[in-house]
Chains A and B, each alone.
Chain A
Amino acid sequence: MKDSGMIENARSVDRAATIVLVAGMSFILIPLAIAAVTATQPYETFIEAGGLSFALGGHFLDNMEKILSETKLLRQLGNSLAVATIVAVMKVGFCFLAAYALVFFEGKFRRALFAVMIATVMLPLDLRVITTYQIVANVAMPLNWILDATGANWAIEKVAGFRPYFRLSLLDTYFGTAAPIAANCTAVFIFRQFFLTLPKDLPRAAIMDGAGPIRFMIDIVLPLSKTPIVATLLFFFVGAWTNYLWPLVAASTPDQQTAVVGLARIADSDIDEIPQVPLLMAGALFVSFIPVALIAVMQRQIVRGLNLSSR
């Protein structure tokens, strides 16, 4: 669009741009196309062809049926749905409130709070997976430390004759899988950026009308923030869905694993024979379908709502 109003010959650039885009889209689409074509082939044809071939096999539904009946991927898809939803709602809800407090309130601890949150963006969950696992395996661990450190345990031992040790594991639960992923404040920056673009007179006008901070948030800021809220919800939903390392360790039983982890476990099972590639490709499509459809349909809203340009 940019050059349409200009009198200049941009044909060479546009031709180069077309070639670049075709190459880029091919790079993205070819692996997906290979997966899709292979997912239509029955195992026998796949073996006969000696591997990768571009012939459609017409067995897509059979392969899907196998996915549904022979694997737990459908149940695991439900797990992914639950975990990703919890993560998205927790993250967006908290970050919205935190950014609201940061932007609209003067406070002593504002800078400290901001620093506390910035750190969570720098060190991703996968980096601290070992110790996070230990905490989730026993969320009462800090309580035990406190009891030990304050001498309370010593007192209890004297009186009751035993040393209390609390244990509560959140492994293999939706919350235990979701909460550590949600303990991240990326969205605070997105909301903060958005709030800063709102007119400065807005809060003043609200105060004049007698609206308190909660009224102001619910009646004014919340409706105005629809675009970034929808975008971040979708973005974090997809992000949690595609997470791998943490869900892999946080849930050990197939019934509690997420779909991506379940898919990788199917691939693990038969290492010696020629792998069930068509089935695996069908599985890869099966676990990727929901997030890809979301991104493809909501692409505009996501890009606009994240407002990444105004940094």
Chain B
Amino acid sequence: MLALILMFFYIPVFLAFFWSFFLERPFGGGSEFVGLQNFRRVLSDQEFWRAMWRTLLFMVLAPGTAIGVSLVLALAADRGIRLSHPARNIIIWPKAIAGASIGLVFVFIFNPHLGLFAPLNDLFPGLWNPRIDGTDAYLMLLVAQVWNGIPFNFIILLSGLQSIPDSLAKAAAMDGAGPWRRIIDIQIPLLTPQLFLTFVLEFVGSVVEAFGLIDTMTEGGPGGATTLLVYKIYVDGFKAYDLSGAATQTALLMTAVAIMVALQFRLEKRVKYER
């Protein structure tokens, strides 16, 4: 198994960096050392930077929304009211549904002529059209990603809330802190480790998980408005056979992700709470 990890993890990671210094021909046609030329080519490509910015924006918006929504839901489910039981079950269903499958459903729901907003479009033509309007398409992608991202964050945050000792809430209640007050002053601060975990995982996840959604919903369009880096790498590598370009972008993206995760871990050291 360690051999498998070497084979299918370390060698591919190494290969991405290695190939970024070579001009690799498709179909094994040999390679040629070109130094930093690949990086120069990629970094001077407007399309790369646009995809990078779209990815970064997505990495802020999607985890932020998904975690915010999950936090509110988890706080509500933690109240132990009658609905908590079914909610705990239903809210994690999307975990079992592939992005590519739900993408097909969402693209139908958001279809400007067939979907939910079709009547609105009849009244105000051109109000909503993710096939033409890039912002609409990006929003549509975001909604689908949040839908798919809620369950995991919800599970983590809810089990975090449930591990907060009851006695703390009781003590605070004795001191006169109402339930709203306790959410702000006790529950959320004590949830910091779980919030941190969800941010790290969602951050990395949002870079790649949107692929299934993009491929089934927009194919990167309209006009590249939803071409995140992971999709661009796929198109460059598997459709345009630009192996060196794709490997270089992979290397850059992996470096960016590694740096961001490292930064987040540094941040964690500062905000550590002892229970």
**Which A residues fall within an 8 A CB radius of B?**
1-6, 8, 10, 13-14, 16-18, 20-22, 24-25, 27-29, 31-32, 34-35, 38, 50-52, 90, 93-94, 97-98, 116-117, 119-120, 122-124, 126-136, 139, 142, 179-180, 182-185, 238, 241-245, 248-249, 260-261, 263-264, 267, 274-275, 277, 280-281, 284, 287-288, 291-292, 294-296, 299, 303, 306-311
Contact = CB atoms under 8 A, between A and B. Distances in A.
B100 interface: yes
A260 B101 contact: yes
Nearest to B178: A8
Given A21-B84, A294-B96, A309-B156, 18 more contacts: A2-B78, A16-B76, A31-B106, A34-B105, A52-B111, A98-B1, A127-B253, A128-B13, A128-B250, A131-B11, A133-B237, A135-B11, A142-B11, A242-B101, A288-B101, A303-B159, A308-B194, A310-B163
A17 B247 contact: no
A290 B257 CA distance: 33
B41 interface: no
19 contacts: A4-B80, A14-B79, A17-B76, A17-B77, A18-B83, A21-B84, A50-B113, A51-B113, A90-B4, A116-B5, A122-B258, A139-B7, A183-B9, A238-B96, A244-B211, A244-B212, A260-B98, A311-B194, A311-B197
Interface string B43-67: 0000000000000000000000000
A1 B173 CA distance: 15
A137 B233 CA distance: 18
Interface residues of B, number: 95
Contacts of B93: 28, 32, 292, 295-296
A309 B233 contact: no
Which 9 residue pairs are nearest across A and B when measured between Cβ atoms?
A51-B114, A126-B208, A291-B96, A242-B98, A244-B212, A1-B80, A17-B76, A309-B159, A20-B76
A280 to B, nearest CB: 5
A244 B179 contact: no
A97 B88 CA distance: 32
B196 to A, nearest CB: 9
Interface in B94-128: 94-106, 108-109, 111, 113-116, 118
Interface in B155-197: 155-156, 159-160, 162-163, 166, 169-170, 173, 178-180, 193-194, 197
Contacts of B109: 31, 34, 52
Contact of B118 (A50, A281, A306): A50
A129 B234 contact: yes
A17 B79 contact: yes
B75 interface: yes
A135 B194 contact: no
Nearest to A129: B234
A86 B84 CA distance: 35
A5 B173 CA distance: 11
A130 B237 contact: yes
A131 B13 CA distance: 7
Contacts of B209: 126
B94 A28 contact: yes
Interface of B: 1, 4-5, 7-9, 11-13, 15-16, 19, 69, 72-73, 75-84, 86-106, 108-109, 111, 113-116, 118, 147, 150, 155-156, 159-160, 162-163, 166, 169-170, 173, 178-180, 193-194, 197, 204-205, 207-209, 211-212, 215-216, 230, 233-234, 237-238, 243, 246-247, 250, 253-254, 257-258, 261
Contacts of A132: 8, 12
A244 B100 CA distance: 7
A98 B108 CA distance: 45
A126 B211 contact: yes
A93 B88 CA distance: 29
B159 A17 contact: no
B243 A130 contact: yes
A52 B118 contact: yes
B9 A244 contact: no
B99 A244 contact: yes
Nearest to A271: B219
Given A13-B180, A28-B147, A120-B5, A51 B73 contact: no
Contacts of A249: 234, 238
A29 B173 contact: no
Contacts of B83: 17-18, 21-22, 25
Nearest to B99: A244
Contact of A38 (B108, B211, B258): B108
A263 B254 contact: no
Nearest to A280: B104
B169 A2 contact: yes
Nearest to A51: B114
A264 B215 contact: yes
A124 B208 contact: yes
A143 to B, nearest CB: 11
A112 to B, nearest CB: 12
A303 B74 CA distance: 14
Contacts of A133: 237-238
